[in-house]
């Protein structure tokens, strides 16, 4: 959008609607200052009206020199107070501004107007405008998440030059600029382009360039010729500036390209570069679009389609941050099922349960208890790694009951498939999932077998707890509790087979 000052103040021309939040904000501030009520403000082509075509002089210049005005025939209220908008509301307005709706600017102005005129309820989901605002913000955030998860970059042959990676996406809302920031952080110095039907962003390793639509569609990803977008890119790209860094980064590239999962998105490249293995998604994760299905919604809509494959699961938010879902493994019809908490950092990357330090300790428990790992079925209560960043590390975070409940769906499927006679719950999360109760505590069940749905359930410590216990004697004691629990599991099995 042109600055308001550039737009003729005559009634004939149709200047465009604000093309971004900053312009809207500037115009809205001026309208507020001039006391123009929402119903008297036209918001350009997108609303079929014209923000800047009002009677000359109806509004004062705003802080930035823009001079929006009311419609000539519309009444204006007395000049409004200088708006002091709380940060939280401004953030919501900014997010909602990315929501594609023909009346978005008018709607945002109405919210702003109401708030500045004392109607603070407008920020509440209980208010009709507030509910719409919250819904817009949620949809925009979901779209951002989906773009983070679903964008698949294609690596171009080295001889094709820059950009090295290209992706095509069709976002539902105008989230490309903020999504670009996310990929700058993820992709490091590599050059890339994300094209959408409405706009494109190009990262040359140092600077982000915004452009209009440069590709006709996903088919153009295959096009190695002189497509429009490449021409444009070459015109702005300065290889001399980034070549050295690109050369330095060839090791991580070799690393990820040689992985058997060749389709891993370049997020892993950047993670390797940063030494931070985070937020990568293998190609199989997130192919199916769609929103997280909260448990409450599922209860309200029992007929709603449920995921049939673990890697399609959106039953809670955890899928967004994990590399992949980690299912159980082992003897398909083992009479003993061992349930842990959730995959850890190494399991998340490997796609297998208990392959990291906790798994090694568990192997020692198995050895002492005389259990052959191959004969049992090993799984977790929660199938996605939940973590928080700590420097360059991903630190385990305990899943909450809502997540445990969401993932119980998968444990139930495993139980129906494997049909164990004895379940070993390792730690509180496993216990909560098996008992389907968030209030159960480890100390009440530790070492005490109980019957649940025809199965024996024996609770022991989680191996990570044993690893964490600082005191050697206590560590030894906790380890013994695990060993005894495993032995008891075998005893219970023998007993239930005799029954
Ligand atoms: N901890 C768990 O509970 N499960 C794993 O798979 C790894 C660590």
Ligand 1 closest atom vs CA 353: 6
Integer CA distances (angstroms), 450 to 70, 144, 147, 444, 485, in order: 73, 45, 46, 11, 13
Residue 266 has pLDDT above 60, yes or no: no
201-204 LR contacts (CB < 8 Å, sep 24+): 201/176, 201/177, 202/163, 202/233, 202/236, 202/237, 203/163, 204/162, 204/163, 204/236, 204/237, 204/238, 204/241, 204/242
Q: Is the CB of 347 under 6 A from ligand 1?
A: yes
Pull the structure tokens for residue 122: 């407008």
More reliable by pLDDT, 187 or 2: 187
pLDDT for 77 equals 56
Q: Tell me the pLDDT tens digit for each residue of 70-104.
A: 444 444 555 555 568 899 999 999 999 999 999 99
Q: Is the CB of 399 under 6 A from ligand 1?
A: no
Q: Is the CB of 330 under 6 A from ligand 1?
A: no
Q: Tell me the pLDDT tens digit for each residue of 347-380.
A: 988 889 999 999 999 999 999 999 999 999 999 9
| CA 53/CA 214 separation, integer angstroms | 32
Q: Is the CB of 62 under 6 A from ligand 1?
A: no
Q: Which residues are bridge partners to 379 per DSSP? A: 339
pLDDT for 44 equals 67
Note the pTM of the prediction, 2 decimals. 0.48
How many Å lie between the centroid of ligand 1 and the Cα of residue 371? 18
How many Å lie between the centroid of ligand 1 and the Cα of residue 418? 19
How many Å lie between the centroid of ligand 1 and the Cα of residue 383? 9
pLDDT for 279 equals 34
Q: Quick one: pLDDT band at residue 270, thresholds 50, 70, 90?
A: very low
Ligand 1 closest atom vs CA 427: 3
How many Å lie between the centroid of ligand 1 and the Cα of residue 134? 37
Q: Quick one: pLDDT band at residue 284, thresholds 50, 70, 90?
A: very low
Residue 9 has pLDDT above 60, yes or no: no
How many Å lie between the centroid of ligand 1 and the Cα of residue 395? 13
Q: How confident is the model over 120-134, as a mean pLDDT? A: 92
Q: Tell me the pLDDT tens digit for each residue of 22-59.
A: 999 999 999 999 999 999 998 864 443 334 333 333 33
Q: Hey, what's the torsion of the CAs at 429, 432, 438, 440, to 10 degrees?
A: -110
Distance between the two ends of the chain, CA-based, in angstroms?
79
Asked whether 130 and 124 are in contact (CB, 8 A), the reply is yes
Question: Phi-psi category of 84—alpha, beta or left, where left has phi over 0 and alpha has psi -120 to 50?
Answer: beta
Pull the structure tokens for residue 232: 């444009």
Q: Is the CB of 345 under 6 A from ligand 1?
A: no
Pull the structure tokens for residue 166: 């290209």
Q: Quick one: pLDDT band at residue 300, thresholds 50, 70, 90?
A: very low
Q: Is the CB of 354 under 6 A from ligand 1?
A: yes
More reliable by pLDDT, 42 or 342: 342
Residue 229 has pLDDT above 60, yes or no: no
Asked whether 241 and 250 are in contact (CB, 8 A), the reply is no
Ligand 1 pocket test: which of 346, 347, 376, 468 has the largest number of ligand atoms within 8 Å of its C-beta?
347
Q: How confident is the model over 173-182, as a mean pLDDT? A: 94
Ligand 1 pocket test: which of 325, 329, 357, 359 has the largest number of ligand atoms within 8 Å of its C-beta?
359
How many Å lie between the centroid of ligand 1 and the Cα of residue 394? 14
Q: How confident is the model over 403-422, as a mean pLDDT? A: 97
Beta strand extents in 111-226 (DSSP E only): 154-155, 165-168, 192-195, 200-203, 208-211
Helix (H) or strand (E) holding 336: strand 336-340
Ligand 1 pocket test: which of 324, 337, 341, 361 has the largest number of ligand atoms within 8 Å of its C-beta?
341
Integer CA distances (angstroms), 21 to 34, 141, 193, in order: 20, 16, 23
Residue 227 has pLDDT above 50, yes or no: no
Closest CA to 256 of 242, 247, 266: 266
Strands 422-426 and 336-340: parallel
Q: Is the CB of 466 under 6 A from ligand 1?
A: no
Residue 493 has pLDDT above 90, yes or no: yes
Ligand 1 closest atom vs CA 356: 7
Asked whether 337 and 377 are in contact (CB, 8 A), the reply is yes
Q: Tell me the pLDDT tens digit for each residue of 419-477.
A: 999 999 999 999 999 999 999 999 999 999 999 999 999 999 999 999 999 999 999 99
How many Å lie between the centroid of ligand 1 and the Cα of residue 306? 25
Pull the structure tokens for residue 52: 């800047």
Ligand 1 pocket test: which of 344, 365, 386 has the largest number of ligand atoms within 8 Å of its C-beta?
344
Coil vs helix vs strand at 217: coil
Q: Is the CB of 433 under 6 A from ligand 1?
A: no
Q: Is the CB of 353 under 6 A from ligand 1?
A: yes
| CA 130/CA 120 separation, integer angstroms | 10
Coil vs helix vs strand at 152: coil
Ligand 1 closest atom vs CA 430: 3
Q: How confident is the model over 258-265, as a mean pLDDT? A: 30
Closest CA to 285 of 354, 385, 156, 189: 385
Residue 492 has pLDDT above 50, yes or no: yes
Q: Taking all residues of the chain, what is their mean pLDDT, rounded to a whole number?
A: 77
Closest CA to 343 of 367, 361, 325, 329: 325
| Helix axis angle, 87-96 to 128-150, nearest 10° | 60
More reliable by pLDDT, 105 or 255: 105
Ligand 1 closest atom vs CA 381: 3
* Burial status of residue 254 (CB atoms within 10 A of its CB: 0-12, 13-18, 19 or more): exposed
| CA 6/CA 232 separation, integer angstroms | 27
How many Å lie between the centroid of ligand 1 and the Cα of residue 356? 8
Residue 234 has pLDDT above 80, yes or no: no
């Amino acid at each position: 959008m042109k600055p308001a000052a550039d737009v003729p103040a005559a009634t004939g021309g149709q200047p465009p609607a604000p093309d971004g939040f900053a312009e809207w904000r500037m115009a809205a501030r001026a309208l507020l200052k001039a006391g123009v009520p929402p119903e008297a403000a036209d918001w350009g082509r997108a609303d079929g009206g014209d923000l800047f075509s009002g009677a000359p002089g109806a509004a004062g210049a705003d802080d930035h020199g823009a001079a929006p005005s009311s419609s000539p025939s519309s009444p204006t209220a007395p000049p409004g107070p200088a708006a002091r908008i709380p940060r939280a509301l401004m953030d919501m307005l900014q997010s909602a501004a990315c929501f594609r709706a023909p009346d978005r600017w008018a709607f945002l102005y109405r919210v702003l107007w109401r708030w500045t005129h004392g109607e603070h309820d407008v920020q509440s989901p209980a208010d009709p405008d507030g509910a719409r605002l919250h819904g817009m913000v949620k949809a925009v955030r979901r779209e951002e998440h989906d773009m983070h998860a679903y964008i698949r970059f294609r690596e171009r042959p080295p001889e094709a030059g820059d950009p090295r990676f290209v992706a095509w996406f069709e976002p539902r809302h105008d989230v490309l600029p903020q999504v670009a920031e996310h990929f700058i952080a993820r992709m490091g110095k590599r050059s890339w382009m994300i094209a959408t039907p409405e706009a494109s962003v190009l990262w040359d390793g140092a600077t982000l360039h915004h452009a209009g639509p440069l590709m006709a569609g996903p088919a153009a990803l295959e096009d190695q010729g002189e497509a429009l977008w490449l021409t444009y890119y070459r015109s702005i790209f300065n290889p001399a500036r980034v070549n050295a860094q690109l050369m330095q980064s060839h090791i991580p590239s070799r690393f990820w390209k040689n992985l058997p999962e060749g389709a891993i998105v370049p997020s892993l490249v950047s993670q390797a570069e940063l030494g931070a293995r985070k937020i990568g998604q293998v190609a199989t994760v997130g192919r199916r679009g769609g929103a997280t299905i909260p448990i409450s919604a599922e209860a309200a809509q029992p007929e709603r389609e449920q995921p049939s494959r673990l890697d399609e699961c959106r039953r809670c938010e955890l899928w967004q941050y994990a590399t992949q879902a980690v299912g159980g493994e082992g003897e398909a019809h083992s009479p003993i099922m061992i349930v842990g908490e959730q995959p850890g950092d190494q399991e998340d990357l490997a796609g297998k349960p208990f392959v990291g330090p906790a798994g090694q300790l568990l192997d020692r428990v198995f050895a002492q208890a005389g259990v052959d790992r191959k004969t049992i079925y090993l799984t977790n209560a929660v199938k996605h790694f939940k973590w928080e960043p700590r420097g360059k590390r991903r630190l385990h975070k305990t899943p909450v009951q809502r997540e445990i409940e969401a993932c119980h769906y998968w444990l139930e499927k495993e139980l129906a498939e494997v049909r164990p006679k004895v379940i070993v719950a390792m730690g509180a999360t496993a216990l909560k999932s098996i008992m389907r109760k968030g209030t159960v505590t480890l100390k009440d069940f530790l070492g005490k077998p109980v019957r649940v749905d025809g199965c024996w359930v024996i609770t022991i410590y989680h191996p990570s707890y044993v690893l964490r216990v600082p005191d050697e004697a206590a560590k030894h004691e906790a380890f013994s509790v695990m060993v005894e629990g495993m032995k008891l599991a075998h005893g219970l099995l023998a007993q239930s087979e005799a029954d």
